[in-house]
Amino acid sequence: MIRVDHENNKRAGEDPDKRRTRNRLSQQAYRRRQSEKVRELQKCAEAGNIPQSEAFEKLRSENHYLRKSLVEVQSKLTRLTQTVQALAGLVSDVLDECPAEGSKHKDAEVGPFEGSNGITQAHVSEPEPLRSALCSVSAVDDHLLPSLELLTTASGSSELSQVYARPGTSCDGLDWQGIPDNISYLFPQIPNIWSHEYQMGLQPYARALSGSECSSLMLSKPWTETNSPFSDHISVLHHLMRTSIGQIGSQSKGHEMLYRQVLAVLALFNSLTRPAAMAWYAKTRFYHIVDLTAWQLYPCPEMLNRIHKQYQPTMLQLQHQYPGIIDWAPFPSLRNRLICLHAANPQIDQIFVDIVSSYVVEACMADLVLDAPTTMVYVRVIDVAMGAAGMGNKDVDPSAVLPAPDVASLFSVAECAQAVFKLLNMDHGVSQYKLDPSFFGTYPELFDPENDIAAQGVPIRPNNQTRLPCPSRLDDLTFQTYRSFMEFHTLAPFQSAPGSI
C-alpha cells in the first residue's frame, strides 16, 4: 500500500507535458502493434491462395528490400557517429585549453555594452552558432526518419516504433536564456569551424568515402557512389581499362595503342552521359585529358612527359584521396584549392563544369569588331565554339572575315565565329586559356593572387550563353554498357595482327 501511494505521489508531481508525451508514445506504439497484427493476419489469409514458390519469391524480395534499408540506415548512423566523435574530440581539446585563456574570457565578460539584465552584447549575439549546430543535428535526425519508418512498418518492432514516434526536436522552442553564458565561448575557440576546409575538405571526404565504400560492399555494387557522379564514371572506366592493359608492355607501339583506347573510351563516356559536350571537345580538340588518363592507367616517364604542364600532378594530388574529376581541372593552384576546400562538396561536379564553361581567351576588340576601339577584351571559348559548330573543319581566313560588323555577328554568324576561333588559337588547348573573372566572383575561395589565371579586360558575350552539362549518376545500364564496350573494343587490338590498327 505504501508503494502504491509512493507511485501515485510520484506521478502527481510529474510534469504534465512529460506525462502527455509518454502517453502519446505508448498509444502510438500500441496502435503500431495492432496494425502489425492485422497485417500478419491478412498475410496468413492471403497465403492460402498463393502458390508456395510465389510466396517464397515474395519473401525473398521483402528480405532484400529490408536488407537494403538496414544498410542505408547503418551507413547514415556510421557517418553521424563519426561526426559526433570528431566534434567530441574538438570539444575536449578546447576544454583542455580553457584555463590558459581565462583572462581573455574575463575581458569578454565585461564590456561597455552591458545591458540592464547583466548580459553583454556578445552573449546576446553568440547563441546563433549553437542554434545552427542544433538545427543541423535535427536535420540529420529528420533525414534518418524515413528509413526508420520503413523498417518499423516492415518488422513491427515496438522498440523502433517508439524511436520513430519521439517528438520532433525544434530549435525555436529552446530556452536560450537558460543556456550557461560560458558555453558561448566554445565556438570561437574551435578553429575554422565554418571554413570550407572544415566543412568540405579532405577529412570529411575521407569519412564519407569510408561509409560509402562499406555500403557499396554490403549491397554488392561494382562501384562506390560518392559526392561526384562525374568521378564515379571516371573511376569505373579506369578500373575497366586497367583490367585490359596487362599486355601493353609487350606490345609494339603499346603506348600509342593505349592512347587510342583512352580516346575512344572518353568519347563513349561523353557521348552517353552528356552528348552536348561532345561538340565542344570535337571543336577545341581538347586532348589534354587523354594524355592525363593514359598516364594514370600506365604511369611511366614517357606518359608523364606528354601531360601538359597545367595538368601535371601536384604533391597534394599524389598524397591524398579526392574526387577524380578534380584532376581534369587545369591550373595546379586551382586543383589544390579544390582538394582542400571542396573535396566533400556535393556540388563539386557543378564547380568543375563552371570552370570549363569559364575558359576565355583575351583579344583586342579592334581585331574583332569593325570601328571598335583598341580595348582589351576576353571571349568565352564555349560561346565561340558553339557558334562555329556548324562549320565543321572548314578552313576560314580570319583576315577575310574579320573584323565583324558588330559584336552579335561574332557568335550568330558561323563563318565569323570560325574566324574568331582560328584567330585566337582556341584549338591550341589550355595554353591560350584563362578563366572568366566572374567565376571567382562565384567561388572567391578558389582565387589565387599569385597565379595570373583570371582574364583582364571587358567581356564580350552573346545574349544566350551556353553551359556544359553535368553527367547523370552512374546506373547499372551504363555500367554494363561500359563493360561491353571495353570487351569489344579494348581487347580487340591485343587479339589482332600487328599493324591492323
Write out pLDDT tens, residues 227-237.
888 999 999 99
Task: Report the range out of 33-37, 111-115, 376-380 with the highest average pLDDT.
Answer: 376-380
Q: Over the stretch 167-214, which tens digit does the pLDDT of each residue have?
A: 333 444 444 444 444 444 444 444 554 455 556 667 778 777 777 777
Q: Is the pTM of this model over 0.75?
A: no
Determine contact, residues 144/11, Cβ cutoff 8 Å: no
Residue 143 has pLDDT above 60, yes or no: no
β strands within 333-393, DSSP E: 359-364, 376-380
Whose CA is closest to 289, among 255, 326, 239? 326
C-alpha cell at 337: 584549392
Other Cβ atoms within 10 Å of 229 Cβ, number: 20
Cβ atoms 435, 330 nearer than 8 A: no
Assess whether pLDDT exceeds 60 at residue 357.
Answer: yes
Choose from 86-90, 198-202, 408-412 the range with maximum mean pLDDT: 408-412
Distance of CA 26 to the CA centre of its chain: 42
pLDDT of 153 higher than 50: no
Kindly state the average pLDDT of the residues 422-436. 86
Among 189-193, 292-296, 396-400, the range with the most confident prediction by mean pLDDT is 292-296
Does the pLDDT at position 436 exceed 80? yes
pLDDT over 70 at 74, yes or no = yes
Residue 121 confidence (pLDDT): 37
Q: For residue 312, give the DSSP letter.
A: S
In this predicted structure, the answer to whether residue 354 has a pLDDT above a threshold of 90 is yes
Q: Most confidently modeled of 111-120, 249-258, 292-301? A: 292-301
What pLDDT is attached to residue 97?
A: 61
Those residues whose C-beta lies under 8 Å from the C-beta of residue 294, and which sit 6 or more positions away, are: 255, 258, 259, 262, 303, 306
Decide: helix, strand or coil at residue 435.
strand
pLDDT surpasses 90 at 297:
no
pLDDT band of 108, cuts 50, 70, 90: very low
DSSP state of 487: I
Write the pLDDT tens digit of every residue in 302-343: 888 889 889 999 999 888 889 999 999 999 999 999 998 888
List of residues 6+ apart from 405 with CB closer than 8 A: 369, 370
pLDDT band at 166 (very low <50, low <70, confident <90, very high): very low
Q: Are strands 458-460 and 376-380 parallel, antiparallel or unpaired?
A: parallel
% of residues, the chain, pLDDT over 90: 13
Which of helix, strand or coil describes residue 378?
A: strand
- Work out the average pLDDT over 94-118: 45
> Distances from the Cα of 230 to the Cαs of 115, 234, 328, 347, in angstroms?
54, 6, 10, 11
pLDDT score of 10: 55
Has residue 295 got a pLDDT over 80?
yes
pLDDT of 419 above 70? yes
Least confident of 42-56, 239-253, 382-396, 436-450: 239-253
How sure is the predictor about 99, in pLDDT bands with cuts at 50, 70 and 90? low
Mean residue pLDDT across the chain:
73
In this prediction, residue 96 carries a pLDDT of 67
Provide the b/e sequence for 312-327 (b: ≥16 CB within 10 Å): ebeeeeeeeebbbbbb
Q: What is the DSSP letter of 488?
A: I
Q: How many residues does the chain have?
A: 501
> Nearest Cα to 156, choosing from 75, 24, 47, 43?
43
pLDDT classification of 34: cutoffs 50, 70, 90: confident
Please indicate whether residue 12 or residue 56 has the higher confidence score (pLDDT). 56
pLDDT average, residue stretch 456-464: 89
Residue 63 has pLDDT above 50, yes or no: yes
Is the pLDDT assigned to residue 264 strictly greater than 60? yes
Q: What is the mean pLDDT of residues 411-426?
A: 88
pLDDT of residue 199: 66
Q: Is the pLDDT of residue 291 over 70?
A: yes
